[in-house]
Structure 1
Amino acid sequence: MSSTEQPGPRTAVPFEVPPADRSRTAAEERLRSVSLPGLTLAVRTRPAAREGLPPALYVHGLGGSSQNWSALMRELAGTVDGEAVDLPGFGHSPPPDDGDYSVSGHARAVIRHLDASARGPVHLFGNSLGGTVATRVAAVRPDLVRTLTLVSPALPELRPQRSVISNALLAMPGGAALVSRMTRKWTAERRTREVLTLCYGDPASVSREEFEAAVAEYERRLALPYFWDAFARSARGLVNAYTVGGQHGLWRQAERVLAPTLLVYGGRDRLIAFRMARRASAAFRDSRLLALPDAGHVAMMEYPAAVAGAFRDLLGATDTGRG
């Protein structure tokens, strides 16, 4: 399958996408604060279907939050004991004390949380930037990862999507201030519609209730004094990670991952080209691919049942779901 034709460059906006089926998940989820030296993380949990299920951790993408995993967490509640983390500066997590928003900085935050909670090894999930972070965690700390599931991971492309090029403006010095000025008259409703168009294969599939919840969340995030800084520095950290070569290069680290890996790519993804599925399948030594022709950048939100089914197949094939 070939990737779909992409639209022209768009004005850069953060990728906060609406929580899926929030009306059914909000009452079932709990958000707690985890304090670590120099770092405070908000962690979203939902009750597991039964005791003794293997642990899982979900890591969101650039500009997103733990809410992006709510639909998949619900689908997998009978399979894993899952929790989703808000990366530093996103969701309900405050900025890190050291201001480190690099890929390695976010990976260290995940590792520190796993070490402190003693939940590892976990079934580790990541989307977009979270997929990059999860790849690095799996490469440098294989003892913490049972399986790896990557939804549209943000790994380096020689020919990036045009939408990504326009959003790279935020990673440049002064870029966040420029984008803020360019979009200062935008309402939260418009910002949300722009994000839906960018991230969803079918933006019309989002219900009015979900849209309104996303607008409210956007308004909350825009009021935070560190909103643009956290996004811009994380975007810059991702761009910088793309330029690193040698053993610390992201594709080299993908080759070092030992955990069985599920790769999920969408045919309508405007941020990560579907053609990257082939390269990723070759890089991760023990991998399988779920291709969703109609999905965009957040397949775990658009097609949670399909992603959950593929994950269960991974467990069945690798026999890692017993502990």
Structure 2
Amino acid sequence: MLPPPGTSRGAVRPSPPGRFGLTELRLALAAPRPAAGLTSEWRLVAGLRTHTRRSADPGSGALPMVLVHGLAVSHRYLTPLALTLSATHPVYVPDLPGFGLTERPRTAYDVSAHAAHLAAWLEAYRLAPVCLVGHSFGAEVAAALAARRPDLVRALVVAGPTSDPAARSRRHQFGRFLVDTLREAKLQTPILLRDVWDARPWRVFAMLSHSVHNAIEADLVRVTVPTLVLAGGRDPVVPPAWREQAARLAPDGRAVTVPGAAHNVATTAPAQAADAIRVLLAPALRR
């Protein structure tokens, strides 16, 4: 079980570190083709043709899950978590503007612009309130939206949230990401290469600049919904001191560490991540 709100220790059942095989790779790269119950669709959102990978509704009446990807990637690497959660929840994984299969705007959106686009996307789908799950840069976008539009969010998960105030520069963050590549499952590399190609390297670099100029802690202190800070035990991007600080900042926050996982905890430990999210939701759904 998770500790009471405001504490920062938690545990989930251990898993083999870095699990990501050929089956997961094929499913991650399948869009826009249907695969394993996931389908693709596009809607015009705030003037941009926006792609969403989504699951079927399991008919449980459960809270919708919206997964938000990081700065150099797309819906693809979140496929393992989407499939795991889809057994009990309807799951949606939109590609942010300029990433994956979504239309590319001429400029790289900052955190505020991405949060505004995500709010427009939620209104277009009439999903709110939802459980918002943001990973890495996506955690910054999710926290900004939860702070500014609490009507749209029932619960918040910030997984591997960037960026640590102790290393808030492009050089430090890039260095930590390089270390992380040595700890991740190697079959994730084709996904990263495809995603960077889709987004264009200049956009990824610009997003990194936006990330290090965004103080996520200013949004976390304003979040009013139950919040989970989720990280891998071997994540060099989000060290223990920062994840614990982030959990303390959120008024109703708690942290869970997945042993053996690195930064891409949602990709390589989806069962453990899903378990932690479901525990978070249990009291939230009684409110």
- In structure 2, the residue matched to 1:228 is 201
Query: Does the CA-based 8 Å contact 1:62-1:234 persist in structure 2?
Result: yes
Q: Do the aligned residues in 2 keep the contact of 1:20 with 1:301 (CA within 8 Å)?
A: no
The runs of 5 or more residues in structure 2 that have no matched partner are 1-7, 9-19
Match of 2:242 in 1: 276
Counterpart of 1:268, as a letter, is R
Task: Report deviation, 1:156.
Answer: 4.1
Say if 1:122 and 1:220 are closer, same or farther in 2 by CA, change over 3 A.
closer
Query: 1:147 maps to what in 2?
Result: 155
The structure having more radius of gyration, on CA atoms, is: 1
Q: Does 1:198 find its partner at 2:180?
A: yes
Q: Residues 58 and 200 from structure 1, CA distance in 2 versus in 1: closer, same or farther, beyond 3 angstroms?
A: farther
- Matches of 1:52 and 1:150, distance apart in 2: 24
Does residue 47 of the first structure (1) align with residue 56 of the second (2)? yes
Cα deviation, residue 109, structure 1: 1.1
Root-mean-square deviation (CA), in Å?
2.9
Q: State the shift of 1:49 in Å.
A: 2.4
Do 2:27 and 2:79's aligned partners in 1 also have CA atoms closer than 8 Å?
no
User: In terms of mean alpha carbon deviation, does 56-65 or 291-300 score higher?
Assistant: 291-300
Corresponding residue number in structure 2 for 1:120: 128
CA distance in 1: counterparts of 2:191 and 2:143, whole angstroms: 32
Residue of structure 1 in register with 2:15 after alignment: none
Shift of 1:319: 2.8
Check 1:201–1:290 CA distance in 2 against 1; reply closer, same or farther (3 A cut): farther
Q: Please give the TM-score of this superposition, normalised by the length of structure 1.
A: 0.72
Deviation sequence 1:166-224 (CA, Å, 0-9, x none): 628xxxxxxxxxxxxxxxxxxxxxxxxx97x6247453xx5xxx45xx527725753x5
**Aligned equivalent of 1:239:** 212
**Higher RCO (CA 8 Å, separation ≥ 6 residues):** 2
Alignment of 1:123-202 (within 5 A): 123-159=131-167, 165=172, 167=174, 198-199=180-181, 201-202=183-184
Structure 2 matches for 1:1-323, cutoff 5 A? 21-23=24-26, 26=30, 27-28=35-36, 29-50=38-59, 52-96=61-105, 99-159=107-167, 165=172, 167=174, 198-199=180-181, 201-203=183-185, 206=186, 210=187, 214-215=189-190, 218-219=193-194, 221-222=196-197, 224=198, 227-242=200-215, 250-320=216-286
2:16 paired residue number = none
Residue aligned with 2:114, SS: helix
Do the aligned residues in 2 keep the contact of 1:160 with 1:273 (CA within 8 Å)?
A: no
Distance 1:280 1:77, change over 3 A: same
Could you tell me which amino acid in structure 2 is paired with residue 198 of structure 1? Answer: D
- Which segment is superposed worse, 118-127 or 262-271? 262-271
SS state at 1:296 partner:
coil
What percentage of aligned pairs have identical amino acids? 27
Q: Deviations over 1:248-288 (max 9, x none)?
A: xx312211101101111222112222221211111011112
Alignment partner, residue 176 of structure 1: none
Aligned twin of 1:5: none
The residue type paired with residue 234 of structure 1 is: M
CA contact (8 A) 2:231 2:257 kept: yes
Structure 1 Cα separation of the partners of residues 182 and 159 of structure 2: 13
Go from structure 1 to structure 2 and tell me whether the alpha carbon gap of 1:24 and 1:232 turns closer, same or farther (over 3 Å shift): closer
Structure 1 unmatched runs, 5+: 2-16, 169-193, 243-249
In the alignment, the residues of structure 1 paired with residue 79 and residue 274 of structure 2 have an alpha-carbon distance, to the nearest angstrom, of 12
Tell me the SS of whatever aligns to 2:257: strand
SS of the residue 1:43 aligns to: strand
Using the alignment, how far apart are the partners of 2:121 and 2:264 within structure 1? 24
The answer to whether the Cα contact below 8 Å between 2:227 and 2:252 also exists between their aligned partners in 1 is: yes
Distance 2:135 2:41 in 1: 22
Shift of 1:116: 1.6
Using the TM superposition, give the Cα deviation of residue 79 of structure 1 relative to its aligned residue in structure 2, in angstroms: 2.3
Output the CA distance in 2 between the equivalents of 1:291 and 1:220.
27
Paired AA for residue 42 in structure 2: S
The whole-number CA distance in structure 2 between the counterparts of 1:157 and 1:320 is 34
